[in-house]
Amino acid sequence: MPVEVTWWGHATVTVEDSGVRVLTDPLFVRRLAHLRRRRGALPPPEAARADLVVVSHLHADHLHPASLARLAPGTRLVVPRGAMAAVAGLRRVAAERRLRVTEVLPGEEVAAGAVTVRAVRAAHDGRRLPYGPHRVPALGYVVQGAARTYFAGDTGLFDEMADEVGVCEVALLPVGGWGPFLGHGHLNARRAAEAAARLAPCSAVPVHYGTYWPIGMDAVRPHEFHSPGQEFERQSALVAPEVRVHRPGHGERIRPVVAR
């Protein structure tokens, strides 16, 4: 059965494998603090339908309690170890929606039907900014069913990335951000292409770009909003030509290549 990937915008992706829907970092709002959604319609109600939801880290554009409140009661939610203690809004939504929350550390696994999700390390500040505790890690996840799909969350390059992730057929890689400058612990298009070269998946899908942008800053370095997906495709052709890049539009479902 082919793996299907739907990019809803930013880091929100549905991975369908072996009849199981895994949703990543759900963010279903038009505005978040100083950010507004500039491209792509808001995800439809079906975007919140999932058998398992994973949250990579505690930043507000990745762990968003109001978006988690759209999940069906009883949905399985996987978060980094310590998230429940660190975020009161998460505790409240989990209780109201009766979410089945599992906290994990790198190397730990959670099963859902025929799919296993393994947490892996990410090189990123995982705190709930600005005051959250440093003890909550940032994570990526490997979804293993008929294929192995790596969702990187937010991360910088690190030497052990390929060993940490292991063999994967599909890599969902962040290639941009939500502002004109990327801070430490992020991948831009060039570094994401290098990550693709190291991981050597059959397919790579750029995410985390071209969706949210600070209000009033439309004219400030606009290429950082518009171009990361295309630039990732260009850079990957140079350093990882064997990797097939799929660049979906917002809300588009694709079937990435999972075999060479």
The contacts of residue 201 (CB under 8 Å, 6+ apart) are 150, 168, 169, 170, 171, 243
Is the whole model's pTM more than 0.75, yes or no? yes
Two tokens at 56? 């990579």
Two tokens at 43? 């995800």
Please tell me what DSSP assigns to residue 104.
Answer: E
254 and 246 in contact (C-beta within 8 Å)?
Answer: yes
Among all chains, which residue has been given the structure tokens 């293993």? 144
Quick: pLDDT tens for 51-109.
999 999 999 999 999 999 999 999 999 999 999 999 999 999 999 999 999 999 999 99
Q: Is 247 exposed, middle or buried (0-12, 13-18, 19+ CB in 10 A)?
A: middle
* Strand positions, DSSP E, the chain: 4-9, 12-17, 20-24, 31-32, 35-37, 52-54, 76-80, 100-104, 109-112, 115-121, 139-144, 148-151, 170-174, 203-207, 212-214, 244-245, 252-254
Residue 62 amino acid letter: H
Helix (H) or strand (E) holding 115, with range, is strand 115-121
Quick: pLDDT tens for 178-196.
988 888 899 999 999 999 9
Please say if the pLDDT value at position 211 is more than 70.
yes
pLDDT band of residue 260 (cuts 50, 70, 90) is confident
115 and 144 in contact (C-beta within 8 Å)?
Answer: yes
Beta bridge partners of 24: 13, 54
Give the model's pLDDT for residue 196: 98
Neighbour tally for 83: CB within 10 Å? 26
What integer is the mean pLDDT of 154-170? 97
Please say if the pLDDT value at position 129 is more than 90.
no
How far apart (Å, rounded) are the C-alpha atoms in residues 16 and 94?
A: 24
Please say if the pLDDT value at position 131 is more than 80.
no
